Amino acid sequence: MRYELYYWPEIQGRGELVRLALEEAGASYVDVARRRGSGVDAMSRMMDGGKRPPYAPPFLKAGRLVIAQVALILHHLGPRLKLVPRSEADRLWAHQLQLTITDLVKEIHDTHHPISSQLYYEDQRPAAKRYTREFWTHRVPKFLGYFENVLEQSRGPFVFGRKLSYVDLSLFQIVEGLRYAFPKRMRRYEKEIPRLVALRDRVAGRPRIAAYLRSDRRIPFNEWGIFRAYKELDG
């Protein structure tokens, strides 16, 4: 199967969680919107037409299926890329964890855009500062503390123990992204989440992931994506 991934070409964003899974599995895929020429037009056409249009990128074309929503894309890819155990209970558990990551990603996005994605960051800066303070006081400990506990229960290094899953790849991206966006806060906080940091290191050391991170397929972090480095938010 040759997959087609449709996502904004200039950012890691939510699409990165899908890219990491495809890369770790060595899957054959085209990052459609990053093709020179008419890539983004092709993406727009998929959203505007058809009987079952996706609401938003990223979406994946897998044969005749078009699947949107990151967690659902990964739920679909998981067994096909051998990135989730086979049993129904394990697949549900992975999907449930990924949906909690989805919730966390939305809140990370809202640290810089708490009022509206339609407004510039500069036009919602006081709200962003306040949101970010609350986020680091209450939400980061709740979310990352939860995943740290999941890793303790699984005995690590991954959420299913010794076998890597797509959830681990997304948790890697969460740690990387928080380090990029909030270097000072994250440096102070990491002592609370040793298992997540160890997971991050394990994932970074996997040959295909390491090669991907060095390649130009990995878009650098920047201030258009989910994780944005604004010094004034890094209190």
Note the residue count of the chain: 235
Judged by CB under 8 A, the residue of 26, 53, 183, 194 near a second copy is: 53
Give the 3-state secondary structure of residue 6.
strand
Does residue 130 touch a second copy according to CB under 8 A?
yes
Burial category of 189 from C-beta neighbours within 10 Å (exposed 0-12, middle 13-18, buried 19 and up): middle
What mask, x for binding a second copy by CB under 8 A, covers residues 100 to 119? x--x--x---x---xxxxxx
HSE on the CB side for 104, CA within 13 Å? 25
Q: Which of 11, 18, 150, 181 touches a second copy (CB under 8 A)?
A: 150
Closer Cβ to a second copy, 182 or 221, answer by number:
182
- Work out how close the CB of 158 gets to a second copy at its nearest, in angstroms, rounded to a whole number: 14
CA distances from 122 to 9, 17, 34, 97, 231 (A): 24, 28, 28, 33, 13
Residue 44, interface with a second copy (CB under 8 A)? Answer: no
**From the list 36, 52, 214, 231, which residue makes contact with a second copy (rule: CB under 8 A)?**
52
Nearer to a second copy, 53 or 194 (CB): 53
C-alpha of 94 from chain center? 14
Using alpha carbons, select from 223, 231, 219 the residue that is nearest to residue 10: 219
Separation between Cα atoms, residue 157 and residue 168, nearest integer Å: 9
Angstrom distance (rounded) from CA 155 to CA 166: 17
For a second copy, the closer CB: 152 or 201: 152
Q: How far apart are CA 159 and CA 162, in angstroms?
A: 8
For residue 93, state whether it binds a second copy (rule: CB under 8 A): yes
Residue 131 binding a second copy, by CB under 8 A? yes
Q: Of 13 and 114, which has the nearer Cβ to a second copy?
A: 114
Residue 55 makes contact with a second copy by CB under 8 A? yes
Which residues of the chain form contacts with a second copy (CB under 8 A)?
Answer: 50-55, 64-65, 67-69, 71-72, 76, 89, 92-93, 95-96, 99-100, 103, 106, 110, 114-119, 127, 130-131, 134-135, 137-138, 146, 149-150, 153-154
